[in-house]
């Protein structure tokens, strides 16, 4: 028997350099690391928590964003229950591409829940995407939420993962 009541497979998606590895690292290890190696293919992480007396394993799949890894991504996407679709608040292109990311992931696991994450909100002077635009896109594409984070400062990072975890737990416990 598993020591967990639930294991949630959650993907980190988004263009290269939006901060996926920094976010997952912040959530799992509680700190920001200055220099990251570029993610090759996929890097697995896990964190365990008890929510509503249920032992949860977050199985986090940090997916490489670069186009050259595209061929191998489909197999990582299979069976995903949730995604953090991440963009960089200071780079509009990464915001536009969020649509492609969720479409690509939903093609493999259509029933997953996802949230739209605008990362690097510590760089307020360089911001290109206003909050209401992020919120509008999340609503339009059917995300359960829009959240702005800073992996550097730690702002809203745990909240983003918990939002997915709690919603998954509620939907699983009610079936
Ligand atoms: P990725 O996994 O999406 O490819 P990384 O992105 O986590 O490797 O981060 C890419 C770059 O953005 C890194 O900078 C990292 O330090 C920076 N970064 C990540 N999150 C934040 C954040 O919240 N705020 C700020 N200011 N920077 C962030 P380098 O310089 O190493 O390329
Ligand atoms: Mg990475």
CATH number of the domain at 97, please: 3.40.50.300
Tokens at 2, concatenated: 């598993």
At 172 the pLDDT is 81
Residue 3 pLDDT level (bands cut at 50, 70, 90): confident
At 19 the pLDDT is 96
At 74 the pLDDT is 84
Average pLDDT, the chain: 92
Tell me if 154 is assigned to some domain: yes
Q: Has residue 70 got a pLDDT over 90?
A: no
Q: How far apart are CA 44 and CA 135, in angstroms?
A: 29
Q: Which atom of ligand 1 is nearest to the CA of 153?
A: 23
**Domains in the chain, number:** 1
Which residue's structure tokens are 């939006």?
18
At 160 the pLDDT is 98
Domain extent for 38: 6-173
**DSSP codes, 55-102:** EEEEEEEEE--SGGGHHHHHHHHTT--EEEEEEETT-HHHHHTHHHHH
At 111 the pLDDT is 92
Kindly report, residue by residue over 6-43, the tens digit of the pLDDT: 999 999 999 999 999 999 999 999 999 776 667 777 88
Tell me if 102 is assigned to some domain: yes
Tell me if 94 is assigned to some domain: yes
Ligand 1 pocket mutation pick from 23, 28, 36, 64 by most atoms within 8 angstroms of CB: 36
Give me ligand 1 centre to Cα 156, in Å: 16
- Ligand 1, atom 11: nearest CA belongs to which residue? 17
**DSSP codes, 112-134:** -EEEEEEE-TT-GGG--S-HHHH
37-51, 81-95, 119-133: least confident range: 37-51
Q: Are 96 and 137 in contact (CB under 8 A)?
A: no
Q: Are 47 and 27 in contact (CB under 8 A)?
A: yes
Q: Has residue 175 got a pLDDT over 60?
A: no
Tell me if 35 is assigned to some domain: yes
Tell me if 1 is assigned to some domain: no
């Amino acid at each position: 028997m598993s020591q967990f009541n639930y294991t949630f497979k959650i993907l980190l998606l988004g263009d290269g350099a939006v901060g996926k590895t920094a976010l997952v690292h912040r959530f799992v290890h509680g700190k920001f690391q200055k220099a990251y190696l570029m993610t090759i293919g996929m890097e697995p992480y896990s964190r365990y928590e008890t929510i509503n007396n249920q032992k949860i394993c977050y199985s986090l799949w940090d997916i490489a964003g670069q186009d050259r890894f595209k061929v191998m991504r489909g197999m990582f996407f299979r069976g995903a229950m949730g995604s953090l679709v991440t963009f960089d608040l200071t780079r509009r292109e990464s915001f536009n591409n969020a649509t492609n990311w969720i479409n690509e992931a939903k093609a493999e696991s259509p029933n997953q829940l996802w949230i739209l994450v605008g990362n690097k909100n510590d760089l307020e002077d360089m911001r290109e995407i206003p909050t209401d635009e992020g919120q509008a896109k999340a609503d339009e594409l059917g995300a359960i939420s829009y959240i702005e984070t800073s992996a550097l400062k730690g702002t809203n990072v745990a909240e983003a993962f918990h939002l997915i975890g709690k919603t998954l737990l509620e939907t699983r416990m009610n079936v």
